[in-house]
Amino acid sequence: MMDLYELEHLCLRMRRRILDMSLRCEGPTHLGGGLSIVEITAALYGSVLKFDPNNPQWDDRDRFILSKGHGVLGLYTALAEVGVIDETTFLTFKQTDSHLISHPVMNVDLGIESSNGSLGQGLSLAIGISWGARFLGKTHHQYVLLGDGECNEGSVWEAAMAASQMGLQNITVIVDNNGFQSDGSTEAIMTSTSLAERWSSFGWDVSVVDGHNLDELCSALRASPDHQQPRCIVARTVKGRGISFMENNNEWHHNRLTQAWYDKAIEELGQGFEC
């Protein structure tokens, strides 16, 4: 289990990897949403999840489901850093016949617990896994990462109602509340200002945290609800976090990283390594 200092440096390495793989693939990638979830996936894989990198098929492992699949850069880099994805495989991102493409494709041997194309499906999958775990007397936990824009999907709320009705304490949802989606700000498209209240009204135990504060994230992710409820963590984040010209700039939702932009971003990250 990593301490806060180790987690901070893990986040820097993950951001460096995100930039490297985006430049290397020579095409557009979902940089903004990948960068906004770095602290979340770092906290999970560095300090919270129960898993064995040498045995990814371990039946009692906790499951992490990336429902906002376009944030996959924040998943692949975490899996590479903890040794689930080896370096040879990691370098194949977006190459012909690669297992690592722009959205996750289920491959448990690589730590990828779910496939993702259409948004709004991850929580339903987690409910099935969680119900089965309870039926079999298993204690593993399911963590599901949703986007705030993704919460516009009706399927999310159907699943939220079901999880609460079933009393599934073995599910935690994390909402990446970065304020943007593909077509613009979430506020302009469908307001997300009351996300915490909405999840609470559906019977979930809810907390709101700074999604880039590792101490807050780890505490919230490890907490247990007072009652027989699933948990929801609304993580307030910044899209493109860590790279100044990408932060809150929706042009980087899906864009190509040129050598010039890469050099500028790496220079900024290098200052973090010197801290």
Domain of 141 in residue numbering reads as 4-273
Predicted local confidence at residue 273, as pLDDT: 55
Residue 105 and residue 112 in contact, taking contact as beta carbons nearer than 8 Å: yes
Predicted local confidence at residue 275, as pLDDT: 40
C-alpha–C-alpha distance, residues 239 and 178, integer Å: 5
Q: Residue count of the chain, please give it.
A: 275
Give the contacts of 189 (CB within 8 A, at least 6 positions apart): 149, 152, 181, 183
CATH of the domain at 265: 3.40.50.970
Q: Report the chain's terminal Cα–Cα distance, integer Å.
A: 22
C-alpha–C-alpha distance, residues 186 and 226, integer Å: 31
Q: How high is the mean pLDDT in each 10-residue block of the chain (275 residues)?
A: 96 98 97 98 98 97 98 98 98 97 97 93 98 96 97 97 96 97 87 89 97 98 86 98 97 97 94 55
Query: How many domains in the chain?
Result: 1
Residue 90 and residue 100 in contact, taking contact as beta carbons nearer than 8 Å: yes
C-alpha–C-alpha distance, residues 199 and 207, integer Å: 10
Predicted local confidence at residue 11, as pLDDT: 98
